[in-house]
Amino acid sequence: MVENLHAITGSMFSGKTDEVIRQANREMYAGKKLQAFYPAIDNRREKGVIQSHSGAKLDAEEVSAALDILKMVEKDTKVVVIDEVQFFDSNIVGVSETLLENDIKVILGGLPTDFRGMPFGSMPELLARSDKISRLTAICTHETDGIPCGKEATRTQRFVDGEPAKYTDPVVVIGAEEQYSPRCRDHHKVPGKPKSI
């Protein structure tokens, strides 16, 4: 029987990693052997753990390429957790499918869009293939006259020297609160972004 693919997604600061860890703890409480992985490019954390902004942690293995996950999964593993999926190469889609075909449940966490509001890496395809999606939102922190917006934030705003990053800026820049803020659609600004039509 093929296990299911559960994707947990949302803007930065929406609680994705907290939810990934919560789901992992549920699986381990049920007695299932679980292994967790994260991309080596994400150097915001202490080595050997998936860690949320709130401080929750889950033991995990660092990998440089998606295919390395298949080499590291142990024979009796029943659940694989992969955090920050958007940073992996496109092989992450096939890796996830292979795990499912081997009766291993897969729990993924990642950003659906980059700072420009564009599809990020393989996450959109993985969302399309998922059996279950937990879509989380943050709260927009944009302030007008010192008053926070407070709307549901579905976007991630990146800043360069205090100004919104331009559309032509590099897509992958590892950072946290010092460079990123959650934004609603109204307050998400990307200078130079081409018009849709």
Identify each DSSP E strand in 52-110 by its residue range: 57-59, 61-63, 79-82, 105-110
Query: Distance from first CA to last CA of the chain, Å, rounded?
Result: 45
Burial 22-49 (b: 16+ CB within 10 A, else e): ebbeebeeeebebbbbbbeebeebeeeb
Q: How distant is the alpha carbon of residue 197 from its chain centre?
A: 29
Q: Which runs of consecutive H residues, i.e. helices, occur in the chain?
A: 16-29, 67-72, 91-101, 123-129
What are the φ and ψ backbone dihedral angles of 111, each rounded to 5 degrees? -80, 130
Active site residues: 84
Quickly tell me which residue has 């052997």 as its tokens: 33
DSSP-derived secondary structure letter, 165: P
